[in-house]
């Protein structure tokens, strides 16, 4: 037993080390799971794998949230061409627990006679593998990077109004001759340009950046579409390449944009995970609306042969210094102590106003085969310290079930410990959980953004609601 004075000292020690704080985490017990719609009259069968969850997004219209899920291997009920892929719009039913997902009926009525429907949708185009949300009107891009018509580079994206799901613009790569032929060949096989494999809306102007990692035998390129708000079914599109990049670099595998430097201009960030002899590179380039070689502002090199540096990226101000920081995923990174490989890692670069310099590294639990860093997302401020926080996907962790790690950005530099790990093998028994992540939208209007996670190997997407959590936290 403690004497009174001893008890007071003990209580004092507890109080100086801990404080009562309002924190948040994600509620795995009441997760809401979305699956693609399958009806008895349908051409679908339960066994038809759709890769539903390869991409996820949310759009808030008034107070209602649309959950968007891409299924690039699915068969469209609305488009007669075999297996184009598709995107679903999902909702939570009134009971608050069950869900329904319907194919997004992409309407071509706005396009008039500019395009024939049969030319817009081609078999095996992987529609829905890449979905992005942005622009001043919260528009949606849905891409099919393997869309293919004769004598045309491959890939197509649709700019879609989320209100009525009309296609308001068709975005196509430029039909221009490359080294004498549009039909590029490698080892006797045609090589796709893969326009729309990645895409990003600019924040400060109404432009779109698209990655085309297959361009010129996988040298890769980016395209910029301007005037996306103009009432026209097409956009001005320009291509930017980088002269120094070798073939097979996959420049354009991932794209994002950010304001990193004192100039305050918004720059494009382009991942090239196979460049520099498989070390991988990330290029910071000016967004250019002329068909030019890109003006490179900074190149960030990968660190390890084959780590797939630049596979995923996220640009967000983590340290509140007014400049965006850059997170770069390297999901095939192999630590020295675990030579089995594919543990994955995320590198964080912060700006001093002039350059981006490496400021931290996160590894998750460094589990063999987990592919930590395959996906990255901004999640808002989860722990209430006024710094932005992040989620990192490790979709192959625990023999393919997958996990999502939640980090407080402020704590990354010092502890590297995550706030929460959402482990599919413990909570949902889904496969490929964490292949895609989207947040920043508050679905249930409780002032805390909720988390949507794709689980493409199980044809599922999981909505995890943010939950208030009052507890003692250590402050020293
Ligand atoms: Ca910053
Ligand atoms: Ca925070
Ligand atoms: Ca919420």
Distance set, CA 209 to CA 13, 266, 286, 294, 415 (Å): 55, 12, 11, 13, 35
71 within a domain of the structure (yes/no): yes
Ligand 3 mean position, distance from CA 466 (Å): 5
Closest CA relative to residue 297, chosen from 324, 330, 328, 270:
270
Establish if 224 belongs to a structural domain. Answer: yes
Q: What is the number of domains present in the chain?
A: 1
Q: Looking at the domain assignment, is residue 154 inside a domain?
A: yes
Tell me what the mean pLDDT of segment 209-237 comes to.
92
Ligand 3 center to 383 CA (angstroms): 14
Closest ligand to the CA of 419: 2
Question: What integer is the mean pLDDT of 344-366?
Answer: 96
**Per-residue H/E/C for 184-236:** EEECCEEECCCCCCEEEECCCCCCEEEEECCHHHHCEEEEEEECCCCCCCCCE
Q: How far is the CA of 63 from the centre of ligand 3 (A)?
A: 12
Which has the higher per-residue pLDDT, 4 or 327?
A: 327
Cα 2 to chain centroid, rounded: 55
105 Cα: distance to centroid of ligand 1 (angstroms) = 40
CA of 378 to the centre of ligand 3 (A): 15
**CB-based contacts of 293: which residues, under 8 Å, 6+ apart?**
240, 241, 242, 243
- DSSP SS3 for 13: helix
The 10s digit of each residue's pLDDT in 295-311 is 999 999 999 999 999 99
Q: Is residue 473 part of a domain?
A: no
Q: What six digits make up the tokens of 57?
A: 């997004």
Rg (CA), the chain: 23
Å from CA of 221 to ligand 3 middle = 38
Q: Is the pTM of this model over 0.85?
A: yes
Q: Find the 329 Cα to ligand 1 centroid distance in Å.
A: 18
Residue 442 CA, ligand 3 centroid: distance in Å: 4
Domain membership flag for residue 169 = yes
Q: What is the pLDDT of residue 389?
A: 95
Q: Tell me the CA–centroid distance for residue 266 and ligand 1, in Å.
A: 14
Q: How far is the CA of 246 from the centre of ligand 2 (A)?
A: 40
Residue at 75 is within a domain: yes
Domain carrying residue 83: 50-248
pLDDT of residue 10: 44
The CA 321 to ligand 2 mean position distance, Å, reads: 14
Looking at residue 73, what is its pLDDT?
96
For residue 94, give the CATH number of its domain. Answer: 2.130.10.130
Q: Is the pLDDT score of 242 beyond 50?
A: yes
* Residue 122 located in a structural domain: yes
DSSP string, 410-452: HHHTTT---SEEEEHHHHT--SSEEEEEEEEE-TTSSSS-EEE
Residue 471, pLDDT score: 53
For the chain, the average pLDDT equals 88
- Closest listed ligand to the CA of 353: 1
**What are the φ/ψ torsions at residue 85 (nearest 5 degrees)?**
90, 165
The pLDDT, as a whole number, for residue 12 is 45
200 located within any domain: yes
Q: Is 149 helix (H, G, I), strand (E, B) or coil?
A: coil
Q: Ion ligand 1 — residues with CB under 5 Å?
A: 317, 319, 321, 323, 325
Choice among 105-114, 369-378, 426-435 with the minimum mean pLDDT: 105-114
* Least trusted range by pLDDT, from 47-61, 115-129, 142-156, 353-367: 142-156
Asked whether residue 123 carries a pLDDT value surpassing 50, the answer given is yes
């Amino acid at each position: 037993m403690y004497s009174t004075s001893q008890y007071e000292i003990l209580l004092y020690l507890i109080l100086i080390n801990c404080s009562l704080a309002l924190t948040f985490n994600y509620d795995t017990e009441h997760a809401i799971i979305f699956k693609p719609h399958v009806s008895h009259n349908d051409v679908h069968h339960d066994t038809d794998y759709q890769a539903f969850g390869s991409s996820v997004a949310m759009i808030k219209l008034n107070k209602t949230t649309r959950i968007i899920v891409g299924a690039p291997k699915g068969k469209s009920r609305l488009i007669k061409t075999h297996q184009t892929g598709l995107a679903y719009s999902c909702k939570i039913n009134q009971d608050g627990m069950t869900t329904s997902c319907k194919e997004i009926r992409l309407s071509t009525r706005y396009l008039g006679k500019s395009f024939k429907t049969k030319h817009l949708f081609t078999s095996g185009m992987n529609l829905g593998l890449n979905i992005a949300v942005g622009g001043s009107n919260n528009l949606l891009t849905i891409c099919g990077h393997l869309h293919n018509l004769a004598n045309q580079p491959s890939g197509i994206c649709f700019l879609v109004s989320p209100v009525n799901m009309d296609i308001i613009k068709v975005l196509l790569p430029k039909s221009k001759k490359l080294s004498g032929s549009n039909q590029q060949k490698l080892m006797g096989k045609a090589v796709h340009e893969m326009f729309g494999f990645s895409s990003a809306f600019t924040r400060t102007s109404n432009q779109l950046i698209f990655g085309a990692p297959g361009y010129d035998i996988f040298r890769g390129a980016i395209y910029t579409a301007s005037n996306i708000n103009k009432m026209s079914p097409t956009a001005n599109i320009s291509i930017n390449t980088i002269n120094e990049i070798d073939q097979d670099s996959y420049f354009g595998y991932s794209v994002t944009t950010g304001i990193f430097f004192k100039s305050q201009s918004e720059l494009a960030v382009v991942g090239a995970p196979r460049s520099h002899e498989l070390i991988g590179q990330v290029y910071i380039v000016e967004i250019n609306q002329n068909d030019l070689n890109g003006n490179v502002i900074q190149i960030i090199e990968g660190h390890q042969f084959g780590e797939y540096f630049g596979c995923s990226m996220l640009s967000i101000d983590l340290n509140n210094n007014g400049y965006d920081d850059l997170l770069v995923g390297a999901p095939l990174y192999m630590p020295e102590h675990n030579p089995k490989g594919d543990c994955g890692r995320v590198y964080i670069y912060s700006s001093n106003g002039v350059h981006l310099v490496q400021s931290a590294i996160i590894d998750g639990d460094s589990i063999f085969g987990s592919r930590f860093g395959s996906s990255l997302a901004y999640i808002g401020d989860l722990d209430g310290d006024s710094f932005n926080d992040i989620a990192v996907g490790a979709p192959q962790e625990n023999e393919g079930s997958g996990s999502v790690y939640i980090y407080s950005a402020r704590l990354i530099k010092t502890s590297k410990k995550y706030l929460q790990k959402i482990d599919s093998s413990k909570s949902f028994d889904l496969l490929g959980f964490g292949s895609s992540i989207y947040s920043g939208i508050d679905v249930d209007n409780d002032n805390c953004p909720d988390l949507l996670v794709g689980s493409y190997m199980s044809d599922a997407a999981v909505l995890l609601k943010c939950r208030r959590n009052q507890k003692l936290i250590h402050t020293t």
